[in-house]
Amino acid sequence: MEKNIQFILEELYQIDPELKSHEIEIAQIVERMIQNKPNTQLDETFARELKSKVLEKFSHQTVKETKSFSFFRSKFVYTLSGAIATLAIAFPVVYFSTDLSAKFLENSFTAGTRVVRAEANAFGPLSPVTVNASNTEGAQPQVSNMALGMGGDSSKRMDTSMIYNPVYTNYNFTFSGELPELSGDIEVLKRESGIDAAKQYAGILQKIKLGIFDLGKLKQAQVQNFSLAEDRDKGYIINVDMVGGYVSISENYSKWHTLRTEIDCVNGMCSDPNMLSIDEVPEDSTLTNVSDAFLKEYGIDMSSYGKGVVDSRWRVGYEAAEDKSAFYISNIQTVVYQLMINDKPVYEEYGEPMGIRVNINTQEMKVTNVEGIMTKTFSGSSYEGETDEARLRAIIEKARMVEYAEPTKTVDGELENATLGYMRRWQYNETNGNSTEIFVPAIIVEVKDFERLQAEGLWQSKVIIPLAKEMLSELENQEPIQIMPFEPMFKDAVINPVPMSEPAVEPRG
């Protein structure tokens, strides 16, 4: 019996096993049907002329109706009013002249993950990676009398008794665990920009003649971004970055009057209403519930993200602070949803999970802003992966940490649980000045006994080692850093500490 007939029958046996008892006759009937399928002839002239007609229509397709679209499947509704309407949610004018155009944008911001394969090494040389001094506090000098808050708010209360007394720590890591299965051929992903959509929509807007300005006069125009605002109490503003393919949500400030209160001072005693005591910090589950509900309410596609995890890094500083009551705990707490690609977690180069960040005002228990919503359309290209385990182990043990020529102290640590994931990296193109986002398969290694090392000043709990061979040499050839002697300008004065956002050592490029 032909395989095809057998397959047709097997499908049916699964649902009707009784059919099998007549297999011979049934198979003959199916075989006879297949043999007698009418052998039609398509008129080639007809097919050619129809194709020509269809493609011509494709090129000139104009559609009559105006169409709304939604990035967020359910909640946001676009209105056609120039003024902001007082609907549940209302937005400025968005006119689309064609169905095709609306779909074009929908597909540019489509949900889920899409990978289109390109040829090998299609993204050119992968830029060398950097060690962590340039982009994280993980290897920064430790402030001896830790009193800095690290919550979501940028304002920090300084302890004036704090004197800058840098501690230069070298970490001596060992790794003896198993490595995940390695491949000599890895697929590097590049996130595609929304540049085509940006041009498409400029073309549509340019058909609109404003009384004071003719948009049609712009040449090679792109719609780079647009914003939509909710005209309601505690409404939101959505910013859509058409070129980068990013969407962010933040408070519509004019509608959030009750928040932004000033520091209240009575009889010389001041209290900051945006500062929480440790007892006021909500449970993690409470925060994730608020965040989950918001994302669901606004229909934000979370199909490629892990569960929400509260960012509790501020607790490092809190635990280290001598005067905990003076420690600034922000009323803004953050829930992070890590991006998953091919079911693997994505990390920033410096070990933090990369994904959507939801900030919550814990006093209002309302989401204030959401960052990191992005399109997930990628090009995939194969690159040579590192399979030399000895080399990888040596690089893992360096843990991407800066090494000081004259460290204040050296701390021993262990790394464990090596798994596979992705590392997000911004790749700068010196020729055109643009940056692209690439996602490189990487080994993710955890810092064992992280709490002990936290107390020693280590910030990151994971080390990310890219597996692209050409990215590794930079990580194994680091020269120790020479520290310039520290001399205060005013020896008898109280010296402000160096802000945490400014590295005390020159980062290596």
Partner 1 sequence: MPLGFFEDKMVQAQQGDRNAFGEVYDEFVKKLYDYAFFRVKDKQTAEDIVADTFIKALEHISSFDPNKGSAASWLYRIARNTLVDQYRSHKKTTAFPEDFDVADTADLKTHIENRDMLRNVETALEKLSEREREIIILRVWDELSYKEISEVLGKSEASLKMAASRALKALRTQLPVALYIALLLQMK
Size of the site for partner 1 (CB under 8 A): 57
Tokens of 265: 């001072």
3-state SS of 260-315 is CCCCEEECCEEECCCEECHHHCCCHHHHHHHHHHHHHHCCCCCCCEEEEEECCCHH
Residue 101 vs 142, nearer CB to partner 1: 101
Query: In the chain, what are the helix, strand and coil shares in percent, each to the nearest 5?
Result: 25, 25, 45
- Among positions 74, 87, 112, 319, the unique one binding partner 1 when judged by CB under 8 A: 112
3-state SS of 190-235 is EECCCHHHHHHHHHHHCCCECCCCEHHHCCCCCCCEEEEECCCCCC
Q: Which stretch binds partner 1 (CB under 8 A): 61-69, 179-187, 216-224, 332-340?
A: 61-69
- Among positions 2, 74, 161, 196, the unique one binding partner 1 when judged by CB under 8 A: 196
Q: Which stretch binds partner 1 (CB under 8 A): 9-17, 134-142, 357-365, 448-456?
A: 9-17
Chain-centroid distance, C-alpha 451: 26
Does the protein bind partner 1 through residue 207 (CB under 8 A)?
A: no
Does the protein bind partner 1 through residue 376 (CB under 8 A)?
A: no
Does the protein bind partner 1 through residue 54 (CB under 8 A)?
A: yes
- Among positions 114, 260, 296, 452, the unique one binding partner 1 when judged by CB under 8 A: 114
Does the protein bind partner 1 through residue 57 (CB under 8 A)?
A: yes
Does the protein bind partner 1 through residue 70 (CB under 8 A)?
A: no
Taking the C-alpha atoms of residue 192 and residue 259, their distance in angstroms, rounded to an integer, is 38
- Among positions 6, 66, 85, 99, the unique one binding partner 1 when judged by CB under 8 A: 99
- Among positions 66, 84, 104, 272, the unique one binding partner 1 when judged by CB under 8 A: 104
Q: Which stretch binds partner 1 (CB under 8 A): 53-61, 81-89, 313-321, 409-417?
A: 53-61
Supply the minimum distance, in Å, between the C-beta of residue 200 and partner 1.
Answer: 7
Q: How far is CA 263 from CA 56, 162, 260, 330, in A?
A: 66, 23, 10, 14
User: What is the identity of the amino acid at 266?
Assistant: V
Residue 102 vs 443, nearer CB to partner 1: 102
Q: Which stretch binds partner 1 (CB under 8 A): 103-111, 133-141, 208-216, 384-392?
A: 103-111
Residue 34 vs 278, nearer CB to partner 1: 34
- 238's CB contacts (< 8 A; 6+ apart) are 71, 76, 91, 227, 228, 229, 247, 248, 249
Contact (CB, 8 A) for 250 and 332: no
Does the protein bind partner 1 through residue 62 (CB under 8 A)?
A: no
Contact (CB, 8 A) for 115 and 81: no
> Exposed/middle/buried for 432, CB within 10 Å: 0-12, 13-18, 19+?
exposed
3-state SS of 62-75 is CCCCCCCCCCCCCC
Residue 41 vs 501, nearer CB to partner 1: 41
Does the protein bind partner 1 through residue 500 (CB under 8 A)?
A: no
Does the protein bind partner 1 through residue 107 (CB under 8 A)?
A: yes
Does the protein bind partner 1 through residue 103 (CB under 8 A)?
A: yes
Chain-centroid distance, C-alpha 234: 26
User: Binding marks (x or -) toward partner 1, 235..274, rule CB under 8 A?
Assistant: ----------------------------------------
Among candidate residues 441, 463, 440, 437, the one with its CA nearest the CA of residue 450:
463
* Cα 353–Cα 356–Cα 358 angle in degrees, nearest 5: 110
Q: How far is CA 133 from CA 167, 252, 384, 455, in A?
A: 14, 36, 27, 19
Does the protein bind partner 1 through residue 95 (CB under 8 A)?
A: no
Does the protein bind partner 1 through residue 326 (CB under 8 A)?
A: no
Supply the minimum distance, in Å, between the C-beta of residue 337 and partner 1.
Answer: 20
Phi, psi of 477 (to 5 degrees): -120, 40
Does the protein bind partner 1 through residue 411 (CB under 8 A)?
A: no
Contact (CB, 8 A) for 19 and 33: no
Residue with tokens 């990978």: 115
Residue 18 vs 492, nearer CB to partner 1: 18
Residue 376 vs 400, nearer CB to partner 1: 376
- Among positions 109, 156, 164, 200, the unique one binding partner 1 when judged by CB under 8 A: 200
Length of the chain: 509
Does the protein bind partner 1 through residue 51 (CB under 8 A)?
A: yes
User: Binding marks (x or -) toward partner 1, 10..49, rule CB under 8 A?
Assistant: -xx-xxx--x--x--xx-xxxxxxxxxxxxxxxx--xx--
Residue 106 vs 474, nearer CB to partner 1: 106
Does the protein bind partner 1 through residue 169 (CB under 8 A)?
A: no
Tokens of 387: 């399979």
Residue 313 vs 376, nearer CB to partner 1: 376
Supply the minimum distance, in Å, between the C-beta of residue 205 and partner 1.
Answer: 16
Interaction site with partner 1 (CB under 8 A): 8, 11-12, 14-16, 19, 22, 25-26, 28-43, 46-47, 50-51, 53-55, 57-59, 61, 63, 67, 99-100, 102-104, 106-108, 110-116, 196-197, 200
